[in-house]
Amino acid sequence: MIKVDEIGLFGVVGFRQPYDTDYAILSEDITTATSGIYFDNYSSYLTVKNLYNTQPYADISDENFNNWLEQVIKSSINKGLQQCFNKNDLIDKGKLFKYSNIKTEELANYNDFVGYELNVSNRNDISVYINKIYTEFAGTGTVKILLFNDLQIEPIQIKEIAITDKSEKETEVNWYLPNTGGKYYVGYLTNGLAVNGIDRDWEKSSKKTDYRAVGVRQVNVKGWDSEVLFDVDDVDYVSETFGLNFDISSYNDYTEFINTNKNMFVDVIGYQFAADMLGMMITSNRTTATERLQKGNLLLELQGNFTNDELPTFRGVQDKLKKAINNIQKQVVDMPQMIITTAK
């Protein structure tokens, strides 16, 4: 998986400012090319003049043309990356406790923080999520679930869950647990709580899923009644389950790898953008401009002529893009992933 919002590849490949003063309208951001490679290296048709005259908006201003060009470059970057990393990156997925329980063992409330310690993989290329919280409590009231990271005093997430009966209640949270070097604690304060957590002590109900990318243990911090992080030296590891269950997933995450190896993706960015823009030129409804570019030549540039025995073989942009994507997959995606957890 990749976190699209955290990818910083815009500006790795850019445009040269045209010498033609009628089209020398590009912003500094568009002309930035930290790799030293420019889009016209990937197709001679990728000129500012050609793009300006075939983009969808006939009366576009120079400012809006720059905005449009920035957006289509970012779109091509994301599309190319998604093709590089389109394999199943799932490592773990499922409930912490997957076996049924009977709802007879109600836990007493004292003056404690109770819940779970989560120790995520120390790999930066793995992402762990709490997707859902499942609650089983007796009584009626509200449970405030707190999520802490031990590097921060204040909770990083809070979720209030209304309890109406003993039925298992599913609450979607989608909490991301980045590898910060610290541990996470998720649970609730029992002081003054109107409902009682139901323990898991029936048959296999307390058997935990053995996740590969996160270790999970039940904890109790006696005498703690404040919504800030406790002293982690006061954590006791216990067997009670406190009426909580979680759906947890983990994935191979290539976001950091991409951002620290930007030049590896230059060809994917260049050829994906070329393919997208050639497709736009071919289908442009601005007929005069399109006719000047000659659709037949554009198709040849995009698709090549591998099926035409009468002409010399010419590799099109689509074929070059495919090769660039395959190169990335061989170097990165197809390499075996080693999963490391530091606690069970």
Residues 184-241: tens digit of each pLDDT: 999 999 999 999 999 999 999 999 999 999 999 999 999 999 999 999 999 999 999 9
Helix extents (H) in 57-177: 62-84
**In this predicted structure, what is the pLDDT of residue 339?**
46
Per-residue pLDDT at 307 = 58
Query: What's the pLDDT score for residue 310?
Result: 60
Cβ contacts of residue 4 below 8 Å, gap of 6+?
A: 78, 81
Q: Look at residue 257 in the predicted model and tell me its pLDDT.
A: 87
Q: What is the pLDDT of residue 285?
A: 77
pLDDT for position 344: 44
Predicted local distance difference test score (pLDDT) of residue 1? 81
The whole-number pLDDT of residue 182 equals: 84
Instruction: Using the structure block, give the residue that is written with the tokens 């298992």.
Output: 168
Domain with CATH 2.60.120 in the chain: 92-252
- Cut 0.85: pTM above it: no
Could you tell me the fold of the domain covering 92-252?
Jelly Rolls (2.60.120)
Q: Is 173 left (phi over 0), alpha (psi -120 to 50) or beta?
A: alpha
Instruction: Give every strand in the sheet of 126-135, ordered side by side.
Output: 90-95, 244-252, 126-135, 169-177
3-state secondary structure of 31: helix
In this predicted structure, what is the pLDDT of residue 187?
Answer: 98
The parts of the chain modelled with pLDDT lower than 70 are 287-293, 306-313, 333-344
pLDDT digits (tens, 9 = 90+) for 114-155: 999 999 988 888 899 999 999 999 999 999 999 999 999 999
